[in-house]
Amino acid sequence: MRIVRLVGAACLAALLAGCGTAGGPQLSAVESSANPTVSQAARALDAAFGDRRTWPNGLAITISQPRSLQPSSTAYPRAARAAVFELTVENGTATTYKPSQLAVKATLGNQPAQEVVDPAQGLGGYVAAQEDLAPGKSVRLTVAFAMPQQPADLRILVQPDVVDAVPAAAFAGTA
């Protein structure tokens, strides 16, 4: 299952790198009447950290404001600091949601930001969520990304279902 998730995430990354957009139906960059590049239009539609995005089927995701953390000596990858977020998934659909289908990626400037796994500090990554989520239930996942010492702009792309190619939503801010 992990290989399927990694392949799906790689496909998502390739797709996003090719088209430069991360919008779903409510975040579509096509609605822009200006003439900016697709990447600029998509960034203008990013949700802020702390905002909630809801998909047409009722699934909702919120990414909290970041907090900084000094990674332990056993953290991977090694980083000056980590930006830690609480990612809340609310299943407002009529069916069970499988968090194993979730893909979370981040960029720092125009470069990929690596997810920090630090078991000593309870950072197992979003892939640690394996239990199915019944309708009406929610789950909170803790995710962290490697950051430079000074605050920087970070963009987190969340795709609730890479298997069925559900549109992604982007959250952005300074972390």
91-128 confidence digits (pLDDT tens): 999 999 998 889 999 999 889 999 999 999 988 876 66
Structural domain containing residue 158:
2-174
Give the CATH number for residue 110: 2.60.40.1240
Tokens of 143: 């995710």
pLDDT of residue 24: 33
119-153 confidence digits (pLDDT tens): 999 888 766 667 899 999 999 999 999 999 999 99
Burial of 26 (0-12, 13-18, 19+ CB in 10 A): middle
**CB-CB contact of 168 with 126 (8 Å):** no
Report d(CA 146, CA 154) in Å as an integer: 10
User: Residues near 30 by Cβ (< 8 Å), separated by ≥ 6?
Assistant: none
Residues belonging to the chain: 175
In 20-117, which ranges are continuous DSSP H helix? 38-44
Per-residue pLDDT band at 30 (split at 50, 70, 90): very low
In this predicted structure, the answer to whether residue 162 has a pLDDT above a threshold of 60 is: yes
Count: domains in the chain? 1
In this predicted structure, the answer to whether residue 25 has a pLDDT above a threshold of 60 is: no
38-76 confidence digits (pLDDT tens): 344 345 479 999 999 999 999 999 999 999 999 999 999
Distances, alpha carbon 27 to alpha carbons 43, 83, 84, 139, in Å: 10, 25, 25, 24
Report the mean per-residue pLDDT for the chain.
Answer: 78
Query: In this structure, how many other beta carbons lie within 10 angstroms of the beta carbon of residue 119?
Result: 13
pLDDT of residue 131: 85
